[in-house]
Amino acid sequence: MKLVINASPLIFLAKVDALTLLPDCFEALLIPQAVVAEIGALPLPSFIRVTPLSDIGSAFVHGAIGSLHAGELEVMVLARDSGIGLVGLDDLLARRKAEQMGLQPIGTIGILLLARKRGCLSASDAWRKVEALVKTHGLYLSPGILETVREALS
């Protein structure tokens, strides 16, 4: 399974020391240049490949910037152009746009749940990371989603 991932999941996973789970969950991880710019000083692990957009993809992103950020749009275009159906996005509007484009979004929490399912993380460690993301690092989850995650980890 391959993933094109946006800045938000990378940053949140780094904040809870979970970036190393990515190669256990995905055979390839790609990011476009706009995501590199968004993550700033966050050092990129060697297993993440920075991949340029095609000229047509770049033109599409340039014309489409509005309610979505360049990084989110570039992630979707790179995924579509690379034949990768899975995109790492947290923002709700971006996730909806990805679905409209026929892509499957997975967010930071989904990645943690996948790592748990694959045996790379215990249920208690996954829950501690979720709690830290919500309580300390500002990831918003509605009470209903938070309860769903808790149940999924029990």
Tokens of 13: 């996973």
Burial of 8 (0-12, 13-18, 19+ CB in 10 A): buried
Mean pLDDT of 42-63: 88
Q: What does pTM read for this prediction?
A: 0.93
* Predicted local distance difference test score (pLDDT) of residue 154: 85
Q: In 3D, which of 74, 14, 19, 9 has the Cα closest to residue 41?
A: 14
* Predicted local distance difference test score (pLDDT) of residue 130: 98
* Predicted local distance difference test score (pLDDT) of residue 55: 87
Do 57 and 77 meet the contact criterion of CB atoms below 8 Å apart?
Answer: yes
> Is the pLDDT assigned to residue 103 strictly greater than 90?
yes
Mean pLDDT of 3-14: 97
> Is the pLDDT assigned to residue 22 strictly greater than 80?
yes
Average pLDDT across the chain, whole number: 94
Q: In 3D, which of 73, 82, 15, 14 has the Cα closest to residue 44?
A: 14
Of all residues in the chain, the percent with pLDDT exceeding 90 is 85
* Residue 149: band (very low, low, confident or very high) from pLDDT cuts 50, 70, 90: very high
* Predicted local distance difference test score (pLDDT) of residue 68: 84
Order across the sheet with 2-5: list the strands. 48-50, 28-31, 2-5, 86-88, 104-106
Tokens of 151: 């149940």
* Predicted local distance difference test score (pLDDT) of residue 6: 97
DSSP states along 81-103: HHT--EEE---HHHHHHHHHTT-
* Residue 37: band (very low, low, confident or very high) from pLDDT cuts 50, 70, 90: very high
| 53-85 per-position pLDDT tens digit | 988 888 888 777 777 888 999 999 999 999 999
Q: How far is CA 67 from CA 49, 94, 112, in A?
A: 26, 9, 27
